[in-house]
């Protein structure tokens, strides 16, 4: 097993920003890259994505800070730019006119919410706006109800930070062949839309041809949904799509093969949903878990964060766990301690996800 991580020796400069940029930097750091975050002086902020990162504070509006940044970038491989379109240019740090001329091997990863050349490029926005423009938000929600905001996971992290990370890796691979850096552009609108490629392609198939909330995989079908158990507020998730898995689900629920109408007729879905909902209410989540554990019914407990933490507390000493339950002021928090992609040729790095409070002071070093 190699003791050198895949991105060891790669030097990253991350301009401080909101979630997507720091998340891309975290992914790089988790796999061995050296990451330096550039904070704004006196900009008090709390950043939960600082694991394995160094930091300094620079005011990029003045010439002295420009000199420091350029000296750092002369030795860097990657710059993560989380700013809105045009900000670097207004600061006199244009990637094409300044940065790549200063260091031709530099990869400048630019992460924006809206498309840099699109209709909304000059507007502020957040995750819900980006997934709305991408069309993804239109797919989320129950039939007859407004679309719901699913938290800032799809736009900020999956369509934003993770896509930016992938673009950086592609640029690194290209540089090994050409010797040249380049600008990588990622935005949360296109990133989110790309994640929804399968539903879009399935619009002409029975899998996803109906209105929101009436399709096979969006809660429309009774065999791909959540059900409350006897414990109020505790749920089970069901995803028994294939016939053999559906048969295992019916067996676990105690239904005979002829007791319920066929699921192949969508007209029967309301009857099936009512039957499943009533049956799940008859037992606690723990009881259902004991019934379905180890089966192919595709029925699993719906784990709240507190439930996940409690489970991890029972096995927190496992050396292969990707998470660790750590004490907080009132209870425990479940924190990821490493990148989640397991590479068998490399050791597992275990480290807590730190919270950094920036009071504007300089950090430990420019680049390790």
* Domains of the chain from N-terminus onward: 11-195+349-358 (3.40.50.10540)
**What is the 3-class SS of 269-316, one letter each residue?**
HHHHHHHHHHHHCCCCHHHHHHHHCCCCCCEEECCCHHHHHHHHHCCC
Rg (CA), the chain: 24
Please report the pLDDT score of residue 367 as a whole number: 36
Please report the pLDDT score of residue 5 as a whole number: 86
Please report the pLDDT score of residue 129 as a whole number: 95
pLDDT, tens only, 213-261: 899 899 899 999 999 999 999 999 999 999 999 999 999 999 997 899 9
Work out the pLDDT band at 358, boundaries 50, 70, 90.
very low
pLDDT above 70 (res 283) = yes
The span from the CA of 223 to the CA of 246, in Å, is 7
> Cα 109 from chain centroid?
18
Percent of the chain with pLDDT over 70: 82
C-alpha distance from residue 120 to each of 6, 112, 191 (Å): 37, 11, 16
Task: Give the residue with greater pLDDT, 223 vs 357.
Answer: 223
pLDDT above 60 (res 136) = yes
Please report the pLDDT score of residue 65 as a whole number: 92
Residue 252 has which token pair? Answer: 């676990």
Identify the weakest region by mean pLDDT among 36-40, 166-170, 288-292.
36-40
Please report the pLDDT score of residue 206 as a whole number: 75
Identify the weakest region by mean pLDDT among 31-40, 99-108, 261-270, 314-323.
314-323
Please report the pLDDT score of residue 87 as a whole number: 93
User: What is the average per-residue pLDDT within 99-105?
Assistant: 97
User: What is the average per-residue pLDDT within 333-351?
Assistant: 63
pTM of the full structure: 0.84
C-alpha distance from residue 41 to each of 15, 55, 59, 266, 338 (Å): 12, 11, 6, 60, 29
Measured torsion, CA atoms of residues 7, 12, 17, 21, in degrees rounded to the nearest 10: -30
**156: annotated active-site residue:** yes
CA atoms within 13 A on the CB side of 219: 12
Mean pLDDT of the chain: 85
Choosing from 30, 156, 190, 225, the catalytic residue is 156
Q: Bin 200: left if φ > 0, else alpha if -120 < ψ < 50, else beta.
A: alpha
């Amino acid at each position: 097993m190699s003791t050198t991580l895949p991105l060891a020796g790669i030097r990253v400069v991350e301009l401080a920003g909101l979630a997507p940029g720091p998340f891309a930097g975290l992914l790089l750091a988790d796999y061995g890259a050296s990451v330096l975050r550039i904070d704004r002086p006196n900009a008090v902020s709390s950043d939960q994505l600082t694991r394995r990162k160094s930091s300094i504070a620079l005011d990029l509006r003045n010439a002295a800070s420009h000199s420091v940044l350029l000296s750092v970038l002369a030795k860097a491989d990657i710059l993560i730019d989380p700013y809105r379109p045009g900000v670097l240019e207004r600061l006199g740090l244009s990637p094409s006119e300044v940065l790549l001329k200063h260091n031709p091997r530099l990869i400048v990863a630019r992460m924006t919410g809206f498309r840099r050349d699109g209709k909304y490029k000059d507007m502020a926005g957040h995750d819900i706006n980006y997934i709305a423009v991408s069309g993804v938000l239109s797919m989320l929600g129950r039939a007859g109800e407004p679309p719901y905001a699913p938290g800032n996971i799809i736009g900020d992290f999956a369509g934003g930070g993770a896509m930016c990370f992938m673009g950086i890796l592609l640029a690194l691979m290209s540089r090994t062949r050409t010797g040249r850096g380049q600008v990588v552009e990622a935005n949360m609108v296109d990133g989110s839309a790309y994640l929804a490629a399968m539903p879009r392609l399935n619009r002409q198939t029975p899998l996803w041809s109906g209105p929101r909330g009436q399709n096979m995989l969006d809660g429309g079908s009774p065999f791909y949904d959540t059900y409350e158990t006897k414990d109020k507020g505790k749920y089970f998730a069901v995803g028994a799509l294939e016939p053999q898995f559906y048969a295992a689900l019916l067996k676990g629920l105690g239904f005979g093969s002829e007791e319920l109408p066929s699921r192949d007729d969508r007209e029967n879905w309301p009857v099936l949903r009512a039957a499943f909902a009533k049956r799940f209410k008859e037992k606690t989540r723990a009881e259902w878990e004991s019934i379905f554990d180890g089966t192919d019914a595709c029925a699993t407990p719906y784990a709240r964060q507190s439930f996940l933490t409690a489970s991890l507390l029972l096995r927190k000493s496992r050396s292969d766990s990707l998470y660790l339950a750590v004490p907080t002021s009132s209870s425990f928090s479940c924190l990821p301690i490493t990148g989640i992609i397991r590479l068998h040729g490399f050791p597992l790095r275990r480290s807590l996800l730190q919270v950094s409070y920036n009071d504007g002071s300089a950090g430990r070093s420019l680049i390790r």
